[in-house]
Amino acid sequence: MSDLIEVGGFLPHGVCYLQQTNLILLHVVSDALVALAYFMIPLTLVYVSRRIGRRLSFNWAIGLFAAFIILCGAGHVLDIVVVWKPLYWLQGWQRALTAAVSLATAFAIIPLIPRLLSMRTPEELETANLRLREEIKLREGAEADLRRSLTEYKRAVQELEQFAYITSHDLQAPLRNVSGFSQLLMRRHRDKLGGDAVEFLDFIDKGVRQMQTLITDLLALSRVGRGDSSFTRAPLEATLKKTLVSLKPTLESRGASVQIDDSLPEIKADHGLLTQLFQNLIDNASKFHRPGVAPLIRVSAWPDGSHWHLVIKDNGIGVPADQLETIFAVFRRLHHADDYEGTGIGLAICRKIANHHGGEIWAESKVGEGTEFHIRLPREPATPISGGTPKLEVVL
């Protein structure tokens, strides 16, 4: 350290200026102003870095550049000092340090060049912002169109459901007349009817009953999700037992038995609709049985993430693989009405009930080995919205 401040017999730099006051003053003032400017630059950089530091990923480069500028300013300060005191060793080492820092700064900023070149100009940013605003306007317009379309769709659905109610109600009156007069004709004039007349009356009565069943099922399909629907938490086993009570005569006539797992959970749902779903599935499971084989139906359920997974499995005739999805369509029948009675609406009702709960239903089957119906219902279904279409009471 003593070597750095040792004058060592050197003459101060002012001797080179022949101690001319004006010349010395020119150099000293110039070096002082340059040093002041050098010291102000890093202060400005530090201020800017603190203000926008979170948005810059190369603050280290700013710090390195600030150190280089400070050393340059220190060099000019030493230029002033050596005018009167020959600290040439200190000045030399200071310049060596400045050289090292300047080289480090130069090499450090080379990787930043591609990033700096890729930065957008204010004009490019303004163009991008303008394009973004135009895209936002287009998207807002598309969303408005979508909302209008959705509103129109809901209105069309409500009008269609209203039409279904009114039409179904109006269809009941002529059917009741046909049924009533055909039965009256059969009771009063059966002995007088000859030939095929009695058989034809039976066909009429059967057709009327099929039509009434079809209208009833259509009304059931249109009612799902209409009006007030309440989701309550209740044991699934109680809902199933209520279903089996209503199906008891049908199951006994077919010799069917139903097994219910002991660990059925409590679930939050519209249990009135679940009763209707179980009625359709269990009735189908007992109806489509193999000849000579007693129908056996098993109901089970278990947690499946955020859902409950319910399965109704039978040992019936099964469903072809290419029909597993189409069986849920309205009026879709795989068998002739003379072989298995029904309207082809029951499974469509089941799917609508599952969708109403925010769930899903699908079938898995192998022909001759039975069918499994899988239902996934959310543990916490969204609260249903009361229907907008007025609820009509239809006398059947």
Residues 6+ apart with CB under 8 A from 73: 34, 35, 36, 37, 38, 39
Q: Going by DSSP bridges, is the β-strand pair 360-365/232-235 parallel, antiparallel, or unpaired?
A: unpaired
Q: Which of 87-96, 116-125, 143-152, 288-297 has the lowest mean pLDDT?
A: 116-125
* pLDDT confidence band for 343 (50 / 70 / 90): low
Please provide the DSSP assignment of 46-112 as one string: HHHHHHHGGG-S-HHHHHHHHHHHHHHHHHHHHHHHTTTS--HHHHHHHHHHHHHHHHHHHHHHGGG
* pLDDT confidence band for 362 (50 / 70 / 90): very high
* pLDDT confidence band for 168 (50 / 70 / 90): low
The arithmetic mean of pLDDT across residues 287-316, rounded, is: 89
Closest C-alpha among 240, 277, 233 to residue 258: 240
Three-state secondary structure along 227-238? Answer: CCCCCEEEEHHH
Q: How far apart are CA 109 and CA 68, in angstroms?
A: 13
Q: How far apart are CA 211 and CA 180, in angstroms?
A: 14
| Per-position b or e across 107-145, b if 16+ CB within 10 A of its CB | eeeeeeeeeeeeeeeeeeeeeeeeeeeeeeeeeeeeeee
What's the pLDDT tens digit per position in 199-254? 777 777 777 777 777 777 677 666 666 655 678 899 999 999 999 998 899 899 89
pLDDT at 141 over 50: yes
CB 296 within 8 A of CB 314: yes
Amino acid present at 326: T
High-pLDDT (> 70) share of the chain, %: 80
Q: Which of 46-55, 159-168, 347-356 has the lowest mean pLDDT?
A: 46-55
pLDDT at 6 over 60: no
Q: How far apart are CA 259 and CA 236, in angstroms?
A: 14
Delimit the domains of the chain by residue range: 2-118, 232-380
Cα Dmax for the chain = 155
The pLDDT, as a whole number, for residue 337 is 54
* pLDDT confidence band for 388 (50 / 70 / 90): very low
pLDDT at 301 over 50: yes
> Taking the mean position of all CA atoms in its chain, how far away is CA 332?
31
The architecture (CATH level 2) of 232-380 comes to 2-Layer Sandwich (3.30)
The pLDDT, as a whole number, for residue 205 is 77
Amino acid present at 352: K
DSSP 8-state code for residue 373? E
Tokens read off for 266: 């409590």
Amino acid present at 49: S
Q: How far apart are CA 316 and CA 88, in angstroms?
A: 106
Please provide the DSSP assignment of 283-322 as one string: HHHHHSPPTTS--EEEEEEEEETTEEEEEEEE-SS---GG
The arithmetic mean of pLDDT across residues 145-167, rounded, is: 80
**Confidence (pTM):** 0.53
Indicate the helix (H) or strand (E) that contains 346: helix 346-356
Q: How far apart are CA 359 and CA 268, in angstroms?
A: 12
What's the pLDDT tens digit per position in 107-131? 877 777 776 666 667 787 788 888 8
Q: How far apart are CA 230 and CA 270, in angstroms?
A: 6
The pLDDT, as a whole number, for residue 360 is 92
The arithmetic mean of pLDDT across residues 352-356, rounded, is: 88
DSSP 8-state code for residue 260? E
CB 392 within 8 A of CB 384: no
* pLDDT confidence band for 33 (50 / 70 / 90): very high
* pLDDT confidence band for 307 (50 / 70 / 90): very high
Across the chain, what does the average pLDDT equal? Answer: 79
The pLDDT, as a whole number, for residue 392 is 34
DSSP 8-state code for residue 116? H
Q: Going by DSSP bridges, is the β-strand pair 371-378/307-314 parallel, antiparallel, or unpaired?
A: antiparallel
Tokens read off for 155: 């209105």
CB 346 within 8 A of CB 374: no
Tokens read off for 212: 């009434």
